Amino acid sequence: MTGVADLVPYLAGALFAGGIAVGLSRRREYMLRWCAWAVGVPVVVAALYVGPGGAAALAASAGVACALEYGGLAGLSRLDRAALATAVPVAPVTAWLAPDHLPQVLALTLVAVAMVPVLAGDAAGGLSRLCSGVLGVVWFAPLAGVVLLGPQVLALFAAVSIADITASVGGRSLGGPALSRLSPSKHWSGLLAGTVTGLGTLAVLGAFTPAWAVAVAVGAPLGDLLESMVKRGVEAKDSASWLAGAGGLLDRLDSLLLVLVLALALG
């Protein structure tokens, strides 16, 4: 894979083929999800085409949306949500402007969010607020990888997206043993189907490496289960309801977040 422009024909072809597939399925959920991707993919491509600044803006915007959705799920106060929504974009912006200082800035960001309930003097719920805030910063910090990986992140984005929808369709069609008690609707058959198509996507896009193969095969399902754990803990089906057919943005990026961590760590 060489650049964003080289991937546009592949992504257009994937969207076209996906549109035919969801049309044949006649499932409203898949049709709405395809419409969301048809709008989202050009936005992602355009941002990455601009360069590191565009990637940082894209990741920061996604981070704010995810932070607000997570804050709603976790029942955080307005103050905690504001602090988290302010802290999360720091990682991608720092990855753009001062990547060498990213570890130090992340550490300071964690401390700042952790100090919000401390400075508020919350003796009753302070520990819970602190843990929820720190989890939010750690969970969404991998969005810095959108900047650090450059145009290559588009291949991961495509692989995870295709693996996600294939796992959903494959699991429902083939059934079999449940993948985890955290998400009984997911099946091992879906995991296998998603892994095959995700790795196949990397290969087609010329981005297949052992490190990225592990990142997609392991990170995508675990990232999905991580959000399932959070949602099950608060008895919520989706992170939000504003994204047609997909709940919220966090519901679509949960797999990618852990994939980015593994791609950076292993690659």
pLDDT of 232 higher than 70: yes
Q: What is the pLDDT of residue 2?
A: 58
Angle between helix 126-140 and helix 78-87 axes, rounded to 10 deg: 30
- In the predicted model, what is the mean pLDDT of residues 52-75? 96
Return the minimum-mean-pLDDT range out of 1-10, 96-105, 175-184, 197-206: 1-10
pLDDT confidence tier of residue 238, bands split at 50, 70 and 90: confident
Q: What is the pLDDT of residue 130?
A: 96
pLDDT of 1 higher than 70: no
Phi-psi region of 51 (alpha: psi -120 to 50; beta: other; left: phi over 0): left
Q: What is the pLDDT of residue 120?
A: 93
Which residues, in sequence order, are CB contacts of 226 under 8 Å at separation 6+?
139, 254, 258
pLDDT of 146 higher than 80: yes
Q: What is the pLDDT of residue 222?
A: 96
DSSP result, 87-106: HTTHHHHHHHH-GGGHHHHH
Instruction: Let me know if 267 is exposed, middle or buried by CB neighbors in 10 A (0-12, 13-18, 19+).
Output: middle
pLDDT of 100 higher than 80: yes
pLDDT of 59 higher than 80: yes
pLDDT of 191 higher than 80: yes
- In the predicted model, what is the mean pLDDT of residues 146-154? 93
- In the predicted model, what is the mean pLDDT of residues 140-158? 94
Q: What is the pLDDT of residue 40?
A: 84
Could you tell me where the beta strands, DSSP code E, fall in the chain? 178-180, 183-187
Better-predicted residue by pLDDT, 80 or 24: 80
Q: Percentage of the chain with pLDDT > 90? A: 66
Instruction: List C-alpha distances in Å: 263 to 76, 113, 164.
Output: 31, 26, 17
- In the predicted model, what is the mean pLDDT of residues 199-210? 92
Average pLDDT, the chain: 91
Q: What is the pLDDT of residue 244?
A: 67
Q: Are the C-beta atoms of residues 22 and 31 closer than 8 Å to each other?
A: yes
pLDDT digits (tens, 9 = 90+) for 10-26: 788 877 877 787 777 77
pLDDT of 90 higher than 60: yes
Tokens at 35, concatenated? 């419409």
For the whole model, what pTM was predicted?
A: 0.91
CA 255 – CA 120 distance, rounded (Å): 34
Phi-psi region of 245 (alpha: psi -120 to 50; beta: other; left: phi over 0): left
Q: Are the C-beta atoms of residues 34 and 22 closer than 8 Å to each other?
A: yes
pLDDT of 252 higher than 70: yes
Q: Percentage of the chain with pLDDT > 70? A: 98
